[in-house]
Amino acid sequence: MRARCIEASAAPVTAQSHGQGGCVAARADVVGLAALAREHGVLGREFGRVQERCSRIMGDQAAEIDRLNALLMRQRAATIRKDTQLAWLTQDMQRLALRLVELERQNASLRHQLGAARHRPSPHEAEDAPESALAAAELVICQTGCIGHHAYWRAQDACRRTGRECVLVEAERPPADEGGAHGSADVGP
């Protein structure tokens, strides 16, 4: 009987098969198992495809993470390089600014010394030169600096060289107003 039930399991399940209730139930179980096996196969294949797709996505994401980490490392290195260059340039600028201040002080000191040496007559020149020759030289200096160079030595009505009133200002005034002579001192531009 059991052999007939198994053979009958291939046939469609109906209540009248072999007239025995036990065979029908066995066939129904076999058919149910076959359907379950097919469904299991379908689910297994679908699970395989999903697992393959997930593995591919995870691999792509891992590659993207590696690429982004490498890019981040390069960007950090570039930032460190630029920050270092900026720090060096800032230090260089500070040193140059200090050097500029020092050079400006030296320049002012040298101008003062040069002006004092240039405009200070030696004892021999002061005794030997007549006053008229000195006045004529002063007038040439004033004409060159003030007339020819747009009042280079003049600060308002005073001579920057001597600190006294400019002789050209005296010449511009009416003859009744006669003032001091134009001399020499160091007050450079």
Which tens digits make up the pLDDT trace of 175-186? 554 444 444 444
The residues, ordered by sequence, that sit 6+ positions from 135 with a Cβ below 8 Å of its Cβ are 181
Work out the angle at residue 72's Cα, subtended by the Cα atoms of residues 69 and 77, and round it to the nearest 5 degrees: 130
Mean pLDDT within 75-93: 97
Which tens digits make up the pLDDT trace of 111-137? 888 777 666 555 555 555 566 667 677
Q: Where are the alpha helices (DSSP H) in the chain?
A: 2-8, 21-119, 123-128, 131-142, 167-172
**Which residue is it, tokens 């002063």?**
138
pTM of the model: 0.36
Nearest to 171 by CA among 183, 184, 162, 180: 180
Q: Confidence class of residue 110 from pLDDT cuts 50, 70 and 90?
A: confident
Task: With beta carbons less than 8 A apart as the criterion, state whether 188 and 180 touch.
Answer: no
Task: With beta carbons less than 8 A apart as the criterion, state whether 120 and 126 touch.
Answer: no
